[in-house]
Amino acid sequence: NAGVTQTPKFQVLKTGQSMTLQCAQDMNHNSMYWYRQDPGMGLRLIYYSASEGTTDKGEVPNGYNVSRLNKREFSLRLESAAPSQTSVYFCASTDRAGAWREQYFGPGTRLTVT
Amino acid sequence: AQSVTQLDSQVPVFEEAPVELRCNYSSSVSVYLFWYVQYPNQGLQLLLKYLSGSTLVKGINGFEAEFNKSQTSFHLRKPSVHISDTAEYFCAVSRSGANNLFFGTGTRLTVIP
């Protein structure tokens, strides 16, 4: 039981390049989330998926797209990377939608955009 | 809208000493409150949460927090810290009916031998 896994662990992009961050969970959870973590700003929600087939914007969705590929997988895409997107990205999941649910986090992807 | 303020960005404390990490929130409605811990190079994990009921909440690893509605606070405490408690601690808030959490900026706890 791996929990929440994220790939890659590290990535360096040039401005304007695109990439997809992958997230998968093996806990049969319904809801999944993408956050970014920046120094001095805590975690901010980018997008979330309350259930398979649905996605919603969080606090900071601009410059990102998401796909809930199936119940297990939730990917985050940067179409044209910018230096402001340099951050650590965390994926999380909960068994059901609802803010009171415990969120289970992956180990993160450290992205640098030059 | 909800927001969370963690008043201390860094807290150094000697091993076996007590510690309090402060968290204040702002919300006009009923809230859910959480403390998450992030060990170096890892994702976050839940320490404890307040949903309703008793205002004193006990969590893992000997931590506890007290919900104070009049002071809109949810401070985290431990009576005696260990080296292994060195980590970053995040307070988070949400409200009934919402799907997302709002996190504070974090407090880095460093336990000194």
Three-class DSSP labels, B59-99: CHHHCEEEEECCCCEEEEEECCCCHHHCEEEEEEEEECCCC
pLDDT band at B9 (very low <50, low <70, confident <90, very high): very high
pLDDT band at B28 (very low <50, low <70, confident <90, very high): low
Q: How far is A34 from chain B (nearest CA, A)?
A: 11
Residue B1: what pLDDT? 62
Cross-chain Cβ contact A56/B45 below 8 Å: no
Pick from A106, A61, A64: nearest CA to A81: A64
Task: Show the tokens assigned to A42.
Answer: 């805590």
Cross-chain Cβ contact A4/B9 below 8 Å: no
Q: Which residues of chain A have pLDDT under 70?
A: 1
The four Cα atoms A82, A83, A86, A92 give a dihedral, to 10 degrees, of -20
Q: How far is B90 from chain A (nearest CA, A)?
A: 8
pLDDT at B54 over 80: yes
Q: What is the pLDDT of residues B59-100, one digit of tens each?
A: 999 999 999 989 999 999 999 999 999 999 999 998 877 778
Q: Are A8 and A107 in contact (CB under 8 A)?
A: no
Asked whether the bond before B113 is cis by omega within 30 degrees of 0, the reply is no
